[in-house]
Amino acid sequence: MNNEEKLSSDDHSFEDNILLINTLKIHLKELGFQVIENTENNSLVVNHELLVVAEIVHNPNYHQRLLHLWINTSQSDYFPEGIEDNIVGIGDSIEEKINSVLNNYIHTTFLPIANSINESYEPDITMSISAQIYQVEIGEIGKQGNWDKIPEQYIFFELLYNQLAQVISLEKFNWLKVYIARQADGTISGECLLNNQNWEEGMSILIQYANSWGVTHSFQGLKQFIMVKKL
């Protein structure tokens, strides 16, 4: 790539990230959130509390219909380093790809975080550990590959509940990120993070779960985010 092509590519990336932040701002405002935008560092401040920093990751090896988003959601008092995620969207145009990836982010990750932060939000699920009550917010399941039937929304919470109750920290917030996939040849890979740290016991349970899937001879993957708040 010569200098002129590189400059054109950099300009294109900058414009795409501006479009990304503007589109995210619109979506969040439509959901009733207050949003302050800072396009200089690709960030939004939501409800004067959450900082969302996002950037499109350009990779020439990706299929042209795919868009890779890196995004970090932080709160200065409880999780200042942020909850980081990498999400993929799909579409024919840059607008379609951005809307796809942001829809994934909002419904899988952002809303569980935002609902947990909201002191007036009425939780759907609670858990009790040693007389302490916790609010549980579960994001939508992200699926990859071919599924005849998507697993129930609470499958990962139910699978990990007993072990999570034994290791959950005394902090105000805990969060769990799970990803499990099985290749057509049966090879299993994935990630289980508790408060941004690898959780080996949780990963072992996910592997057992993936081994229970029926043989399809095709790739299958599941991803979910869970936020737990001490009440």
- With bands split at pLDDT 50, 70 and 90, how would you rate the model's confidence at 32? very high
In the predicted model, what is the mean pLDDT of the chain? 89
- With bands split at pLDDT 50, 70 and 90, how would you rate the model's confidence at 8? very low
Cβ burial, residue 152 (10 Å; 0-12/13-18/19+)? exposed
Q: What is the mean pLDDT of residues 175-190?
A: 94
The yes or no reply on domain 125-230 and CATH 3.30.500 is yes
CB 70 within 8 A of CB 13: no
- With bands split at pLDDT 50, 70 and 90, how would you rate the model's confidence at 1? very low
pLDDT tens figures, 63-91: 888 999 999 999 999 999 999 999 999 99
> Above 70 in pLDDT, residue 21?
yes
- With bands split at pLDDT 50, 70 and 90, how would you rate the model's confidence at 12? low
- CA distance linking residue 123 with residue 108, whole number of Å: 16
pLDDT tens figures, 106-159: 999 999 999 999 887 777 788 888 888 999 999 999 988 888 888 899 999 999
Question: What are the sequence ranges of the domains in the chain?
Answer: 3-106, 125-230
